[in-house]
Structure 1
Amino acid sequence: MHNRPLSRLLALTAALVVTLTVLVAAGPPPTAAAAPPPRVFRDLAYAPARPAGTRGHLIDLYLPAESVSTPRPLLIVMGGSGWLADDGKGYAPALVPYFTAHGFAVAGVSTRSSRQALFPAQVDDVQAAIRWLRAHAGRYEFDPDRIAVLGDSSGGWTALMAGFTGTGVRAVVDLYAPIDFGQLDAHMLPGACASFNRAFHLDACHASTLSPESSLLGCPILTCPDRVAAANPIARLTTAAPPVLIIHGTDDGLVPLQQSELLFDALAAAGVPSTFYVVPGVGHNRDIVSPAHPPAVVRQAGPALTPAAPHPSNAVIEAFVRAALARPVAVSAH
């Protein structure tokens, strides 16, 4: 009698082993076919390497798998590094699956680091990259007149500079870019400068001689106000600027939220359509587009190009870019 439960358990175990063996042999259940991978063209040089052996002159281009006769829109992506690295094109793969699946060509663009060349070299680089892309649009099946730029942090700064310097860019997506270097320290959250100093081995926050901003300009930012002013994207803003989508977190300990507020206020004053997502509790992080965060506060200036969705997702970015690309090209009044 006492052996019956044990016998039943052994029988059930044997049956389970047989079932698992069959399932493993048969493989996983069928799923929907995966989307074909994009076509990739790596390390396209838009200019000579300067200095030799560096990477700040390269583009990675991603095209949807299917070739089409109607040119696609192009999204240029630039990752931030505090201008300390020349590999900004490395941000693009995080966005490629979504945007190529939705009919975009995507270009990851690198510019020179501050160790390789001082400002305004990075602006010269992105302008040269866009000229190269426009010249080769036919070969790579995108529309040279439907170009948007996206970047985070210093990459967002580069995207804004590209949008505000007459390159033909039709939309800008800026994730927590620095705007006015001279006001960075005044805007920092309580305790953030101490963390910033530890992270970058500095002694005076953004005003330090070796801070990312001082390194970019080649001078401590409090000693060269003219160069600080020239590096402010707002200084290049005109009424012909393309629409801008700004995304920034309230807990950003590297680039304070007030920097994006300065930009949004300037865009509104210039009459440039813009949308500003303020995401509660989020720091300096690319996952700011995740729907896991609390709902954002959304501010609009000018005509709303997208519905006020609760999260600044890739779908929101796509909708904003498409609406901006559909607008007539603005003509500068200056």
Structure 2
Amino acid sequence: MKTNFGLLIVYCFCFFNGNSLLAQEQKIEVRPYTIQTTYEKLKNDYPFIKPIEALKSGPFISMENLIYTSIEGRDLKADVFIPKDTSEKRPAILLVFGGGWISGSKANVKPLAQHFAANGYVAVTVDYRLSTEAVYPAAVKDLKAAIRWMRDHAEEFHIDSKKIAILGNSAGAQLATLVGVTGNSEIYKDEQNTTSDVVQAILNIDGIVSFTHPESEEGAIAAKWLDGKRRENLKNWEEASPLTHVSETTPPTLFVNSAQPRFHAGRDDMLQILEQHNIYNEVHTLPDTPHSFWLMQPWFYTTLQYCLSFLGRVFNTE
């Protein structure tokens, strides 16, 4: 096994000739999903791009690797970036990294979090359990725990607990949207914690909102996270689809999308429901862009500006 990636073996059993059972191996390479690996993948097709970098300093205070919850001996950690001017409470945003529910890390959203903090928001990035460690709904419950932790520490972090948003990119956008449309849901309820996990805004950066929509593609990576293929575990595929839960209580929602249609699965149906309930929403598609555009310049700043403009309208901070 190479040292730069893991190898996940998924066994699929099939009958042949009616009397023999053979095992076929489907190998999924768990490749590192980082800013640098994304740059290496995209640079030949987009020679003008540059990878984003974390800020060495700025008008914010950094508090890194704080434990926000512990599950079965596993400490899940958060980084918190707080504007230096703490004279008043600030709106907050939880940032969820992507990586197919199987890879990635909070380092990927650190630059974006720092820029949010530099613009007056308390920004939080977190670890959550990937599918190699725990399948659905573990990651959803982790992120809801993070929202509750932010509220429980609102005084310490100078958070306005009535103004909390959640942002995700790629698989992180699917997760962020699911968390956003299931505020205080019985499905993911934590009997040990009565703090609200409701958010007041959703920011979806190129993530699907349905696993079962006609526009969706069934893949082995999603099946790994959802604990079975669609035909084997349809309940999870439907329940984990944010579109299933969209209603009149869904918060204002922003979509920033690439030019790759498969990452828009279910979006237009969700927008239709939002419009029916007069829920504020925005959609922006960046032309001629690949997936993971938010990790590269010049698209990073465009994405940031769309997000800041949306939050400014929703939270009246313009």
After TM superposition, the score normalised by the length of structure 1 is 0.67
* Amino acid in structure 1 at the alignment position of 2:138: A
Residue of structure 2 aligned with 1:58, choices 44, 59, 77: 77
Show the counterpart of 2:14.
Answer: none
Relative distance call for 1:289 and 1:170 in structure 2 (3 A) is farther
1:322 is the counterpart of 2:312: yes
Question: Higher mean Cα deviation, 66-75 or 238-247?
Answer: 66-75
Mapping for residues 227-246 of structure 1, pairs under 5 Å: 227-246=236-255
- Kept in 1, the 8 Å contact 2:94–2:125? The answer is yes
Kindly indicate whether the alpha-carbon contact (under 8 Å) linking 2:177 and 2:202 is maintained by their aligned counterparts in 1: yes
Partner secondary structure for residue 226 of structure 1: helix
Larger strand fraction of residues: 2
Largest Rg, 1 or 2: 1
- What percentage of aligned pairs have identical amino acids? 23
Partner of 1:45: 67
> Cα distance, 1:222 vs. partner?
3.3
How far apart, CA to CA, are the structure 2 residues paired with 1:105 and 1:258? 30
Would the aligned equivalents of 2:59 and 2:118 in 1 still touch at CA under 8 Å?
A: no
Give 2:226's match in structure 1, choosing from 217, 221, 235: 217
Could you say which residue in structure 1 is the equivalent of 2:135?
Answer: 118
Quick check: 1:139 aligned with 2:149? no
CA–CA distance in 2 between the matches of 1:187 and 1:89?
29
The alpha carbon displacement at 1:267 in A equals: 2.4
Structure-1 residue corresponding to 2:51: none
TM-score by length of structure 2 reads: 0.70
Q: d(CA) in 1 for partners of 2:199 and 2:282?
A: 17
How many residue pairs end up in the alignment? 249
Could you tell me how far 1:119 is from its partner in structure 2? Answer: 1.1
Aligned residues: CA RMSD: 2.6
1:165-176 equivalent positions in 2, closer than 5 A: 165-166=182-183, 167-176=197-206
SS for the counterpart of 1:41 is strand
The separation in 2 between residues aligned to 1:58 and 1:126, in whole angstroms, is 11
User: Is the 1:248–1:260 contact (alpha carbons within 8 Å) kept by the matching residues of 2?
Assistant: no
Aligned with 1:180 (options 210, 226, 231): 210
Structure 1 portions without partners, runs of 5+: 1-33, 189-205, 294-310, 328-334
Kindly indicate which of the two structures has a greater share of residues assigned to helix: 1
Gaps spanning 5+ residues in structure 2: where?
A: 1-55, 184-196
CA distance in 2, matches of 1:222, 1:269: 31
**In the alignment, structure 1 residue 80 sits paired with structure 2 residue 91:** no
Q: 2:218 aligns with which of 207, 219, 223?
A: 207
User: Which gives a bigger RCO, structure 1 or 2 (Cα 8 Å, sep 6+)?
Assistant: 2
| Alpha-carbon displacement from aligned partner over 1:30-71 (angstroms, at most 9, x marks no partner) | xxxx97453211111121144x45x6x21110112x242211
SS of match in other structure, 2:166 = strand
Once residues 70 and 108 of structure 2 are traced to their aligned partners in structure 1, the CA distance between those partners, rounded to angstroms, is 22
Per the alignment, residue 282 of structure 1 pairs with 289
